[in-house]
Amino acid sequence: MFYFIIICAVFGAISLITLCVYGSDKRAAIKGRWRVPERVLLSLSFFGGAIGGILGMLLFRHKTRKAKFIFVNAAGLLWQAAAVAAAAIYLL
C-alpha cells in the first residue's frame, strides 16, 4: 500500500511540474521571451507527467496543433496508467 501511494505521488508531482512548465512556456510565447525547449516539454510529459501535459495543452491551448505532442502525451498516459494499474495489482 505504501509503495502504491508513493508511485501515485511521484506521478502527481511530475504532472504538476509539467503543468506549470507548459503554463510558463505559453506565457513566454505570448510575451516573446525565452521559451522552454520542446524536448523538455516532451520529456516531462512522457516520463511521468502526461496528465499535466494534457491538462497544460487543454487549459493553456498550448501545442495543441503539434502531432508529436499529442502522440507523446497519449503514449505517456498509456504507460503511466499501465504502471499504476500494475502497481495496484501487485502492491495492493
Each domain of the chain, given as residue ranges in start order, spans: 2-91
Count of Cβ atoms closer than 10 Å to residue 83 Cβ:
14
Q: Quick: pLDDT tens for 2-16.
A: 999 999 999 999 999
Cα–Cα distance, 30 to 28 (Å, whole number)? 5
Evaluate if residue 1 carries a pLDDT over 90: no
Per-residue cell: 68: 508529436
Q: Tell me: pLDDT of 92 over 90.
A: no
Q: How far is CA 55 from CA 3, 32, 33, 51, 77, in A?
A: 26, 23, 22, 6, 12
pTM greater than 0.85: yes
